[in-house]
Every structure is written in C-alpha cells, then in structure tokens.
Amino acid sequence: MVKFNSAFTRGASVSMVIEAKDAGDYSPQKAVKELQEAQDNREAAVGIMVFEPGQYPGVCYPLEQYGDDKIICGYDPSDEYDICLQLA
C-alpha cells in the first residue's frame, strides 16, 4: 500500500493499493473484484493491478480504468519505454 503525503492531498489521508500479478487466469471482472477486496481490506481510495507482459486480461492492455478508483495495466520492465505503470 502507498500512502500519499498529506501535504499533496490538502490534508486528506489518501492511500493506494497496488497488486502485481504474474498469472494469466484473470478476467477483467475477477481483477476488479480482487482490487475491490484489496481496497476494502486496506482502506485504500484507489487500486491498481499490474500484469506482466502477456498475462493481463486481453481487453486491459495497455491500461484500462474501471470506475473512478481502479486501473488494470500491463508493464514490461525490460522495455525502457513502457510507461503504462507511470500512466496508471
């Protein structure tokens, strides 16, 4: 979980949960459900799920937003120009 400095959030307590996955058996619905559970468990305002290349749900690459608080994206650490995680 990442907690943002309150100096950058107008004093509000804001946190984000990041889930990294290397399994390819996720549908977008399963990923969103798991992100919601992670957000609920950690009281996080935002959830990001990151998949290794070729493992993300097909419709989610390079990134897809679900609602106002969930993003699913792919990230290839061997590609120096891959900015999907930065965009998320």
Write out pLDDT tens, residues 29-49: 999 999 999 999 999 999 999
pLDDT at 88 > cutoff 70: no
Residue ranges of the domains in the chain?
A: 2-87
Phi, psi of 31 (to 5 degrees): -65, -45
AA letter at 28? P
Over residues 13-19, mean pLDDT: 90
Q: Which residues pair with 49 in a beta bridge?
A: 19, 72
Q: Which residue has the higher pLDDT, 62 or 20?
A: 20
* pTM assigned to the model: 0.82
